[in-house]
Amino acid sequence: MGCGTVLEDNIIVSEVQFVESGGGGSSAVGQFVSSESENRIPAFGESHIAGIGRASRAQTLQKARLHINTLGHQLKMNQHCLDTAFNFYRMALTKHLTNGRKCGHVIAACLYLVCRTEGTPHMLLDLSDLLQVNVYVLGKTFLVLARELCINAPAIDPCLYIPRFAQLLEFGEKNHDVAMTAMRLVQRMKRDWMHTGRRPSGLCGAALLVAARMHDFCRTVKEIVSVVKVCESTLRKRLNEFENTPTSELTIEEFMRVDLDQECDPPCYTDGLKKKKIKQLEVELKKKMDDVEDEIHDYEDEIDAELESVRPKLRGVYAAYTKQEEEDVKDDVLSPSSKVSDDGDEEAEEELQAVAKHFGKELGELTLEALLKLEKKRPEEEEEEEEEEEGGVPRRKGPTLESILGRMPTASTLGLSESISNCIGHEKENDGAADSGELDLSGIDDSEIELYLLDDREIRVKTALWMAENSDYLKEQREKEVKIAKEKELGIYKEKKPRGPSRKRAPIRASTADEAIGKMLEQKKISSKINYDVLKDLNIKPGASPARVVESPKKEPSAAKLTGRNRHPARAPLSLSTPLSTLGKRLPINNI
Amino acid sequence: MHEEKAPYGILAAPHNFHMDSGNDDALDIIITNVVATFKTRCHLNLRTIALEGVNVIYKPECGKVLMKLRKPKITASIWSSGKCICTGATSEDDAKRGARRLARCIQKLGFKVRFSAFKVVNVLAVCSMPFSVQLIDFTKNNRPIASYEPELHPAATYRIKHIKATIQVFSTGSITVTGPNVQNVATAVEEVYPLLFECKKPLRK
């Protein structure tokens, strides 16, 4: 410590000193330090920077306050609410909730939060009307805000909205009476479980309509809708639901006097009950239908048989089948078919029985014979599948198609054998194989996948169709390419490189502060105005000039801090020969 | 009769709560949607896929191809980077099978597909309580985990942070649960059941 050492700088004192300025006036000594600027102790050389009290955070807050006041006055909210809203906004700022959100949305959400906590009759819809923003977008912001700030907004009570709507509907002197009636109605609705999960404005609308009519005001549905902002069908639905409650049976005087004790079930529950009843009825009807259908099928078969007798007869084995007598073969065939079905699933058995019953015995015998004919050794399951299929496919057409079609396609020719075994058997999953990147093909039927791919002709057709449909998009693409080519020729074209992930710089590890600062300066070339070499020299020679040494480390952090924020890039370069007196006014005069 | 939606499991109503009705009903949790992603580790030409596939919709503005499979019933969005998202499956196994089918399909079109990084991202299940729920009481008891905004959505939302599940409770007593996998969904239902039971609404028969 020698002569000229700065012992303390910018001390915070509680006394006020005055200094005479050039024109004869006096000004207080000191600087304004903003309470919101984070721990930025103004260092030695900084004090002459303009606007030190106007940190960016303060600016943001000021703008926000302005917006809040504007919106609040439009909504006619009192000053206390606006102040609370501003506090909410400040909390949101500190929690970085404004990042990535439009500041208008955040402000609206803060205002609505205040409305909810204070219980003012403002709806989210009003705010969205003012801002011309979708309600659900605002709602999302509001929910996030409420969650992050841990503010429990009380649930909306529809009774809050009634006085407001009543005023808009202009009931004149009887305003209060109508409002009270409407409130009673709403409370009744609440007890009847009509209000859970519904918009409160809808309930209010219905209550006000009824109350108005009770007091001999004829307000049409349209007027109510324009005030309450729900649609007509909602209003009508609420009225219908209210109609279903026992309270609707009371007369006006009774309603005002008496309050029924019993509570209703919620309307969605009664609706659910109704649906169940309808379903039950349907099931019963279906059973009856089945019986009727059986009869119809019999008639159908007879008609088909007649038609077939008119058609050209086939030669060969199949003709024999069509001419065969039903009764003779029926018993023989049914027993083997029933044996087969015993082995298989219940579904197949049911199908077979249905087939045997409904379609005439020819089908059962035909399919079995056809299978035997095809002399493929297949598992019994597949036989059943086939029978099921063939039974299923020509269900309504009767047996004649089979004879006409001739040899039935087998499972293998259709390429379905594997898929059938898939349906019935197990599929083993090999998780280990999948992780290595290899595609595990177990359980995947290639031929089925083939069905998903088009063949050449179809590809051509689809290409043509797609080109036709997307011609606009393709034109745009071509124009873009032409533009890029032109620009390339002219040399203007700036290739838009896809931005890779921003590389995070390795954290600086240093033992002393000087080292850290030195490393940081190396990494980040901060300012072109600072002569780094001089600064480096200063660090090396500690004892050379104490005043300079003391200055320089102070300058470095200040330089680092300033340029880190990139606030005032254009500054007169600080050199060591700058006299202190030029560095700033209003400095406490130290004895240097 | 075929059950289209596979019920995941049977959850027995817990008996350690004071239940007046004393019923032994089991709660069916029905999984309605499973979303999974995987990567094919190779660049895909979307136009080829679009023009040669059967159930394919190409959206060049979004830069992706929508491919629908019939069995299992799955819709997949495929990007040219090789990333695919499959939605519409009804179980985790179904999702995996569908994803592998999809990869096989793309492989057949001529791309060198490798099936990697398969992950089930989201599971959506519905469950129906045998009673109705008073949403306002439910929200009051469970602040701030539960939130209810009748102006925005008719259901109350209950977010369980530690298992990352979200439950939406409707006043009829049915709930929808979304979570990262099926186990979490089941745990979430078990956790929320007692809370819902407290706010049960006595029904008039």
pLDDT confidence of A525, banded at 50, 70, 90? low
Q: For chain A, count helices (H), then strands (E).
A: 27, 2
**Cβ-based neighbour number of residue A492 at 10 Å:** 8
Cα separation, A359 vs A402, whole angstroms? 13
User: At residue B179, does pLDDT exceed 90?
Assistant: yes
SS3 category, A449: helix
CA-nearest residue to A264 within chain B is: B204
Please write the tens of the pLDDT for every residue from B116-170: 889 999 999 999 888 888 888 888 888 778 888 887 888 888 988 898 899 999 9
In this prediction, residue A36 carries a pLDDT of 59
Instruction: Choose between B21 and A37: higher pLDDT.
Output: A37
For residue A95, the SS3 value is: coil
**Structure confidence at residue A327 as a pLDDT band (50, 70, 90):** very low
Phi-psi group of A408: left, alpha or beta (phi > 0 → left; psi -120 to 50 → alpha; rest → beta): beta
* Cβ B51 vs Cβ A462: under 8 Å: yes
Q: Which residues of chain B have a CB within 8 Å of the CB of A123? A: 151
Q: Measured between CA atoms, how close is B62 to chain A, in angstroms?
A: 12
pLDDT band of B60, cuts 50, 70, 90: confident
Min Cα separation B123/chain A (Å): 20
Q: Which residues of B, range 1-40, sit inside 8 Å of A by Cβ?
A: none
B103, B118, B132 ranked by CB distance to A269: nearest:
B132
Quick check: A131 and A108 in contact, CB under 8 A?
yes
Q: Residue A584 — pLDDT band, cuts 50, 70, 90?
A: very low
pLDDT: which is higher, A373 or A77: A77
- The pLDDT of residue A503 is 64
pLDDT digits (tens, 9 = 90+) for B69-120: 887 888 999 998 989 999 999 888 888 888 888 888 888 888 888 888 899 9
Nearest to B128 by CA among B169, B100, B161: B169
Chain A to chain B Cβ contacts (< 8 Å): 135
Q: What pLDDT is attached to residue A107?
A: 92
Residue B200 phi, psi dihedral angles, 5° rounding: -70, 150
Query: Given a cut of 80, is residue A565 above it in pLDDT?
Result: no
Question: In angstroms, rounded to a whole number, what is the distance separating the alpha carbons of residues A400 and A311?
Answer: 10
Q: Stretch A99-117: mean pLDDT, rounded?
A: 90
Residues 6+ apart with CB under 8 A from A205: A165, A224, A225, A227, A228, A230, A234, A235, A238
Percentage with pLDDT > 70 across chain A: 57
Per-residue pLDDT at A86: 92
Q: How many CB atoms lie within 10 A of CB B60?
A: 16
Predicted confidence (pLDDT) at residue A544 exceeds the cutoff of 70: no
In this predicted complex, what is the ipTM? 0.70
The per-residue pLDDT for range A14-37, each reduced to its tens digit, is 788 888 888 888 888 776 666 655
H or E segment and range at residue B31:
strand B26-39
Question: DSSP assignment of A109-123, as one string?
Answer: HHHHHHHHHHT-S--
A26 DSSP β-pair partners: A20
Distance from CA of B199 to the nearest CA of A (A): 13
Tell whether the model's pLDDT for residue A316 goes beyond 60: no
Phi and psi at A261, nearest 5°, equal -80, -40
In chain A, residues with a C-beta closer than 8 Å to the C-beta of B151 are: 123-125, 135, 139, 156, 199-201
Write out pLDDT tens, residues A280-312.
Answer: 999 999 988 888 888 898 889 999 998 888 876
Inter-chain residue contact B96 with A429, CB threshold 8 Å: yes
Averaged pLDDT of chain A: 70
- Closest partner residue to A139 (CB to CB) among B96, B139, B149 is B149
pLDDT of residue A500: 63
